[in-house]
């Protein structure tokens, strides 16, 4: 981890909640609007991210009216077809550019327990980077996944710090067919902020996951 003084020198970014997934394992629909402990999952994500950022938007496709109750601006993907989380990141960067922002932090709309100091720790790891570009990561002993980094960390690509300055580069990459997050972040010197709380990035993908999330609340 980089020294905390680097994070202190950075201004707070804008926040973007990514809700553009198709939720196929949940049977479709907006899983972030499912109830969890008397509130929607999305409400819980908003409550965690809002205090950490200087403004907040929701990335979602389709009719934005279904999210009217959350009180956030809704920005849709500008890339044709389902291009994955990078398309949501680009939509967030375009929104941030219109606000005069320099960076965004993204969080997944189906992950209600992420750290309350997510932004500060991502910014700490970005110290010294020309363009702050950092993904959250956790270490899981003995597990191999497609998101495993060379250092043995499991990256969580929907949780990251992204620079507005690289949005046109990202747009070109998406138009060229790049979908996997690390295929874009690695060539740009992307870093990983290691979080010890593996359960913090637990996301609700299935009805069984929702039951587990209820148990975690209890």
> Residue 41 sits in a domain of what CATH number?
3.90.550.10
Read off the pLDDT of residues 66-120 as tens digits, 9 standing for 90 and up: 999 999 999 999 987 778 999 999 999 999 999 999 999 999 999 999 999 999 9
* pLDDT for the residue numbered 146: 44
Q: Is position 183 within any domain?
A: yes
Helix (H, G, I), strand (E, B) or coil at 49: helix
Spatial separation of the C-alpha atoms in residues 120 and 165, rounded to whole Å: 20
**Range(s) of the domain holding residue 70:** 12-217
Please say if the pLDDT value at position 130 is more than 70: yes
Q: Is position 3 within any domain?
A: no
Q: Is position 6 within any domain?
A: no
Please say if the pLDDT value at position 6 is more than 50: no
Per the structure, how many domains does the chain have? 1
Read off the pLDDT of residues 30-47 as tens digits, 9 standing for 90 and up: 899 999 999 999 999 999
Beta strands (DSSP E) in 41-188 are: 56-59, 74-75, 103-108, 134-139, 153-163
């Amino acid at each position: 981890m980089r020294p905390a003084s680097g994070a202190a020198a950075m201004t707070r970014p804008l926040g973007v909640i990514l809700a553009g997934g198709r939720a196929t394992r949940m049977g479709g629909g907006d899983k972030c609007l499912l109830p969890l402990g008397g509130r929607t999952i999305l409400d819980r994500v908003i409550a965690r991210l809002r205090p950490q950022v200087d403004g907040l938007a929701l990335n979602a496709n389709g009719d934005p009216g279904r999210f009217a109750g959350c009180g956030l601006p809704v920005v849709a993907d500008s890339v044709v077809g389902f291009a994955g989380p990078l398309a949501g990141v680009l939509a967030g960067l375009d929104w941030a550019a219109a606000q005069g922002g320099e960076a965004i932090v993204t969080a997944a709309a189906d992950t209600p327990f992420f750290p309350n100091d997510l932004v500060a720790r991502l910014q700490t790891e970005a110290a010294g980077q020309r363009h702050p570009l950092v993904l959250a990561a956790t270490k899981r002993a003995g597990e191999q996944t497609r998101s495993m980094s060379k250092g043995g960390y499991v990256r969580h690509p929907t949780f990251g710090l992204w620079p507005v300055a690289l949005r046109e580069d990202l747009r070109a990459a998406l138009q060229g067919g790049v979908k996997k997050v690390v295929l874009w972040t690695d060539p740009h010197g992307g870093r990983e902020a290691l979080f010890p709380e593996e359960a913090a990035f637990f996301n609700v993908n299935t009805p069984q996951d929702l039951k587990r999330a209820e148990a975690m609340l209890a």
